[in-house]
Amino acid sequence: MTRYLRGLYIFWVAWRFGLDELFLASFQRPGLHSLMRVVTFGRDLSAPRGQRLRLALESLGPIFVKFGQVMSTRRDLLPAEIADELALLQDRVPPFDSAIAIATIERAFKRPVDSVFVSFDREPVASASIAQVHFAVVKDRNGNLRDVAVKVLRPGMLPVIEKDLGLMRMMAGWVEGLSEDGRRLKPREVVGEFDKYLHDELDLVREAANAAQLRRNMAGLDLVLIPEMLWDFCHPEVIVMERMTGVPISQIDRLRQAGVDFPQLARDGVTIFFTQVFRDGFFHADMHPGNIQVSLEPATFGRYISLDFGIIGTLTEHDKEYLAQNFTAFFRRDYKRVAELHIESGWVPPQTRVDELEAAVRTVCEPYFDRPLKEISLGMVLMRLFQTSRRFHVEIQPQLVLLQKTLLNIEGLGRQLDPDLDLWATAKPFLEKWMIEQIGPQKMLEELRDQAPRYAKLIPELPRLIHQYLQQRPQSDRGEMAELLQEQKRTNRLLQTIIYGGVGFALGLLAMQIVMRIVIF
Write out pLDDT tens, residues 269-283.
888 988 888 888 899
Domain-located, residue 67: yes
Among candidate residues 64, 87, 110, the one where a domain is terminated: 87
Least confident among 77-91, 291-305, 349-363: 77-91
Domain-located, residue 417: yes
The per-residue pLDDT of the chain, averaged, comes to 76
- Can you tell me the distance from the alpha carbon of 289 to that of 306, in angstroms, rounded to the nearest whole number? 10
Domain count across the chain? 4
Domain-located, residue 392: yes
- Can you tell me the distance from the alpha carbon of 411 to that of 109, in angstroms, rounded to the nearest whole number? 41
The secondary structure element, H or E, covering residue 5 is helix 2-16
Report phi then psi at 133, rounded to 5: -120, 135
383 pLDDT higher than 60: no
Higher pLDDT, 48 or 506: 48
| For residues 341-348, average pLDDT | 76
Pick the most confident of 21-35, 315-329, 444-458: 315-329
pTM score of the predicted model: 0.70
Higher pLDDT, 366 or 391: 366
478 pLDDT higher than 60: no
The pLDDT assigned to 209 comes to: 95
Give the residue among 184, 185, 188 at the shortest CA–CA distance from 168: 188
486 and 417 inside one domain: no
117 pLDDT higher than 90: yes
18 pLDDT higher than 80: no
Higher pLDDT, 456 or 126: 126
The pLDDT assigned to 521 comes to: 43
Domain-located, residue 222: no
282 and 400 inside one domain: yes
What letter would DSSP give residue 375? G
- Can you tell me the distance from the alpha carbon of 285 to that of 314, in angstroms, rounded to the nearest whole number? 9
412 and 275 inside one domain: yes
Which is the catalytic residue, given 91, 286, 319, 418?
286
- Can you tell me the distance from the alpha carbon of 351 to that of 171, in angstroms, rounded to the nearest whole number? 32
What letter would DSSP give residue 398? G
315 and 405 inside one domain: yes
408 and 511 inside one domain: no
| For residues 164-173, average pLDDT | 73
322 and 427 inside one domain: yes
333 pLDDT higher than 60: yes
What letter would DSSP give residue 373? G
| For residues 219-239, average pLDDT | 93
172 and 259 inside one domain: no
429 and 483 inside one domain: no
293 pLDDT higher than 90: yes
Domain-located, residue 289: yes
| Percent of the chain surpassing pLDDT 90 | 22
313 and 427 inside one domain: yes
492 and 433 inside one domain: no
- Rounded to the nearest angstrom, the gap between the alpha carbon of residue 423 and the centroid of all alpha carbons in its chain is 18
The pLDDT assigned to 185 comes to: 58
17 pLDDT higher than 50: yes
Contact 127, 92 (CB under 8 A): yes
462 pLDDT higher than 70: no
Domain-located, residue 361: yes
Domain-located, residue 237: no
Give the residue among 202, 142, 407 at the shortest CA–CA distance from 287: 407
CA-based max dimension of the chain:
106
What letter would DSSP give residue 275? I
Domain-located, residue 304: yes
Q: Report CA dihedral (56, 59, 63, 66) to the nearest 10 degrees.
A: 60
**286 catalytic residue (yes or no):** yes
303 and 429 inside one domain: yes
Among candidate residues 45, 60, 87, the one where a domain is terminated: 87
307 and 180 inside one domain: no
Domain span holding position 68: 2-87
